[in-house]
Amino acid sequence: MKFLRYLILRIVLPVIILIGGIVGFQVLSARPEMVIEEEQAQMDPLVEWASVAAHESGLDIETDGVVVPHREIYLSAEVAGRITFKSDECNSGNYVEAGTLLLEIDPRDYELEVRRLSKEIAQAEADLLENDVEIKNAEVLVALSQEDLVLQGQEMKRVEDLSKRGVITESDIDVAKRDELAARNKVQVQKNLLTLQKSRRQRLQSALELKGTQLEKAQLDLSRTKITAPLSGVIVEDLVETDTHVTNGTQLVRINDSSTAEVKCGLKMDELFWIWNQTGERYVSDQAMSAAATFEIPETPVTVTYRLLGRNFHWQGVLSRYEGTGLDIATRTIPCRVVVKNPRDVRITDDQGRPVDFHGPRAMVTGMYTTVRVHAQPTARLLSVPESAVRPGNRIWVVRDGVLSIETIQPAETLDGSVVLPAASSKIEAGDHVVTSPLAEVRNGMKVRESTQPVATTTPEIN
């Protein structure tokens, strides 16, 4: 019995194991090669993917902004006096229309000055009329003296004729000459008086014009006793009260222009690149630009959004100008200004962009922190990939014919779950497949399996 057990363990069992191995080897060797390849393929990782899309709707550049006054005006007193009237509307926080009377300074001194100068002008006009009469009288006297001189001249000729005939004496001749000289002197005196009257008229005319100028100044000072709103806006600060004595230059009221609003924002240099390189006639080569255009920013449409309690308030504006000519040292951005021509034209939507009826700010006001979205139309060809496909270091995984390739991109902007990038900055093209799912290990050239359906993606919309 022991011998039989020994025989089975030492001889029979090894033989059976050897025969089983040979049979198994033959069976495995007989499987088709295609089955082996399928099993190997099933070991490649399965990935989810999305297609690279051509981006045709322009480029939205998003940044933060704050609403600032378009114009802020300090009204100051232009004449001295006591404040005798202050309107109920002249209080901080009130909206006033252009031309609204806000304050009035005691006008009595200025009314008296206007009255005094008016009387002086009337007197000056009377003096001028009197002088005109004197000039006419002097002209008549000059004419009469000239006629008398002619008569004296004729008399002198007759005396000379009689003297030649010896009819009259030398004393008679002297008398005739004396009369002629007296007539000649009278003519000269009358001419001098006429010249003096004309000179006096010029002096009176200048005095009248001076009084007229003084009256205009007095009337202007009188009108300045009434302080009215020079524009439609909100009173930010009222600085005086009734019975306050003010002098020329005293600040009275501060008003913000509400007809137009501005938004202060900052753009990075790479964001400004897309604004500088837009389509349209305005964007010309550097050689064709004027010196002024070199320091101007291309006017670009902008949507300004203020969010409140889950609602979005939208205003349309224009990227208007730089605020200065250099980079902000703290933020390394270029300060810019957005002009909103109609701050009361607001559109309210929910997070899905649907219009809603909501009670909230109906006008853009100073101090609002907003989101500024600049709608650029760059000339460069753009592509769009899902944000989930972009890996750390701006890398994406591209799958071509089942082989994974690691590519580096230069994103232009990220909006609404998609990354927009210039086609020239990478080796990908529209229609390429990019991996959106995570992988434990990634290397160039590794084989992967793609899911049967791409991951749904959204295209950024221009608001």
194 pairs with which residues across the strands?
none
β-bridge pairing 233-238 and 95-96: antiparallel
Q: List CB contacts of 380: < 8 A, sequence separation 6 or more.
A: 274, 277, 422, 423, 424
**239 in the same domain as 151:** no
pLDDT 10s digits, 368-394: 999 999 998 888 888 889 998 999 988
**372 in the same domain as 264:** yes
Q: What's the confidence (pLDDT) of residue 163?
A: 76
DSSP single-letter state for residue 247: -
Please say whether the beta carbons of 457 and 386 come within 8 A: yes
**169 in the same domain as 153:** yes
Nearest 5°: the CA angle 117, 122, 127 is 120
Q: What's the confidence (pLDDT) of residue 270?
A: 84
pLDDT 10s digits, 194-203: 899 888 889 9
| 171, 206, 223 - which closes a domain | 223
Structure tokens at 98: 């252009």
Q: What's the confidence (pLDDT) of residue 422?
A: 85
Alpha-carbon distances of 51 from 59, 402, 449, 460, rounded to whole Å: 19, 14, 15, 15
Q: What's the confidence (pLDDT) of residue 450?
A: 87
**292 in the same domain as 347:** yes
Least confident of 14-18, 54-58, 411-415: 14-18
Q: Which residue has the higher pLDDT, 425 or 64?
A: 64
Q: What is the C-alpha to C-alpha distance for residues 138 and 197, in angstroms, rounded to an integer? A: 8
pTM for the full predicted model: 0.66
Overall average pLDDT of the 340-361 stretch = 87
Q: List CB contacts of 294: < 8 A, sequence separation 6 or more.
A: 286
**349 in the same domain as 408:** no
Please say whether the beta carbons of 450 and 399 come within 8 A: yes
Order of strands, edge to edge, in the sheet holding 49-51?
49-51, 433-435, 395-400, 403-408
Share of the chain above pLDDT 70, in %: 87
Domain that holds residue 92: 71-106+225-257
Q: What is the C-alpha to C-alpha distance for residues 57 and 376, in angstroms, rounded to an integer? A: 9
Backbone φ and ψ of 215, nearest 5°: -70, -40
Q: Is the pLDDT of residue 35 over 60?
A: no
Please say whether the beta carbons of 395 and 401 come within 8 A: no
Q: pLDDT band for 264, please (50, 70, 90 cuts).
A: very high
Q: Is the pLDDT of residue 462 over 50?
A: no
Q: What is the DSSP string of 313-375?
A: EEEEEEEEEESSSS--TTT-SEEEEEEES-TT--EEE-TTS-B----S--S--TT-EEEEEEE
Closest alpha carbon to 195 in 144, 146, 203: 203
The total of other beta-carbon atoms located within 10 Å of residue 284's CB is 11
| 355, 376, 397 - which closes a domain | 376
Q: What's the confidence (pLDDT) of residue 213?
A: 94
433 pairs with which residues across the strands?
51, 399
pLDDT 10s digits, 231-262: 989 999 999 999 999 999 999 999 999 889 99
**267 in the same domain as 372:** yes
Q: What's the confidence (pLDDT) of residue 24?
A: 67
How many distinct structural domains can be found in the chain? Answer: 4
**350 in the same domain as 404:** no
